[in-house]
Each structure stands twice: as structure tokens, then as C-alpha cells.
Amino acid sequence: MKLDIAEKEKTFHLELEKEKAKMLYGKKIGEDVDGSILDPKLNGFKFKITGLTNDAGFPARPDTEGIGLKKKLLTKGIGMSGKRSKKKKKIRGLRLRKTIRGNTIAKDIAQVNLKVLQATKSLSEVLGKVELKEEKEVEKKKEEPKPEPKSEKKEERA
């Protein structure tokens, strides 16, 4: 199971083992989770579950109870991108029947979105996965040596 943890403006990705993922089964969107359940490094953190996605990519809605897939008539919100007319305007009164998932974590969940509520340190210090885009670009330029021009002389064989 993948965890996407949001802290202010940055998102950190964490992979969770099946054994630890079982600790989240039965939790719903909007509930608080203690960080020590997820990883020993995250002891002292408190998270809020903000969203879920199952293996097939169907999003979970907080207002839909249960663990299975359901077809709902939606007008806006999670799971509804909204169709547009040829003139790029939203269609008034549009309602579509879309497949969405219930709000409870089960074994078929692929991704859980979390938000930090309480922290002892910043996540970047604990997980140590912070690299800015500018730093990456500078490092790539330094590492890539320019290829040497090939000589046009060819050896003739007798």
C-alpha cells in the first residue's frame, strides 16, 4: 500500500508493508491515525486520512459508506471531472452516474492520502527524502560529460 503524506506544500511518498497495512483496515476517511502504527520513524506524528484509491483507480468518497464499489449519480466533487461543451463551458445541470468506492480502508486499497495534523519534527528531517528540482537539474548537468566528436577518418581494409 502506498502512502502519500502531505505536509504544508510538500508531499512525501512511503511504501507500507502488508502486515502494517492491516492496521489501517476499517479506518474511514476523516479519521485520525497515529504515526507509530505506520512506521517507527513516524512516532509522535498524527495524521488525518483525506482520501483513498483502490487497485483499479476508483476514488473513495467520504459520503459513501462501505468498502465496495458503488454507482452514484454525481454532479460535482470527488470522482466527477465534469464534461464540457464544444465551447469549453461547463454544462449546467449535468449529472453522471459514476463508479466510486466506499470510504473504508480494505485490502483492495492501493493508495492512502494523509495530512499531517501534529508533528514533533518536519517530515523532511525524519524521512530524509527532500531534493529540490533546481538541485536535481544542476547535478544532472554536472554529471553528464559532453560526448567527444568522432573522427571521420575510416581505416581501409586490404
pLDDT tens readout for residues 43-96: 889 999 999 999 999 999 999 999 999 999 998 888 887 677 777 777 788 888
126 alpha-carbon distance from chain centroid: 19
Please return the burial class of 127, using the count of CB atoms within 10 Å of its CB with bins 0-12, 13-18 and 19+.
Answer: middle
| Extents of the domains making up the chain | 2-64+104-142
Span 86-100, pLDDT tens digits: 777 777 888 889 999
